[in-house]
Structure 1
């Protein structure tokens, strides 16, 4: 270690800073060696990220040297450095929180889109199954069911339209619904879901 390096190491921070302002690179290196570990440890307590903390401290010293002619420090140099590290840590934490929020929103949107597609597929399966089993019904039951459920006629209106007794229409509609419940029981939960949002 040279005599000048030893001499620099013995100087107080404020004197070293004045030399830095006069473009003394050795004075700057002395400040860096003297304080970087302490500043790194302070940042690491909050961030728990080795690479981020190293980059944060390096950026601070790069800024310090680049602004040496304009920067006015109205407190102790170490106090200024710790305040600067604290601000950088807070900015880093805010940025991470924002990134995590965006990741969460993207994941949520993707999950919702997947769920929507899944429901669409299941709904199409239900619609095809319903159509198939309606077509398999006895003609009279199917006729009553379609008039009541698709054309939205009341039981009495169906009876009048088909010229059948109301009691007969009621029995045929009940049989049609029971038939569908039996054959669509695998879709029961989905039927309930679409009834609640329909």
Structure 2
């Protein structure tokens, strides 16, 4: 067993059995920066990233009595952060802000890299082709979702159940992202990431 694993287990036991704030503080100091940077790369907002990591450590402390001393501590912390980021993206109040941010990113990237304009148009054509190849209900559900209609409104407009609409959007989203990946090349890398993120945000429900 490595010294790091032994150290982690000692801290976890101390926190779980003795409410040891010094052990908790050691974990906090060691992992805060990396967790914050990880969150910032995804939510792209310093205050939001800081809040997410703070919430993570609050949850970690509140659940200390259930800690498993044999667990992989870094994996556990990043696992908590992963679900907090997912909840953040699924928050209705934040979606419009994020969608505007990604759209701005795409526009700014092309402005700053005019030689990528053709690549940008190629991605647009690629997504258009994939949309056109989808069943009608799937394509319409995705386009209506892009127009920010609710699942209920889309279901009513298309005469489908809400679950069918959700299924169509989920499958269609995966198809669009897969189309980007399959046709990806080194020259597409940055734009592809931005486009994929936009699709994920636009079609989340």
TM-score w.r.t. the length of structure 1 is: 0.43
TM-score by length of 2: 0.41
Larger radius of gyration: 1
Higher RCO structure, 1 or 2 (CA under 8 Å, sep 6+): 2
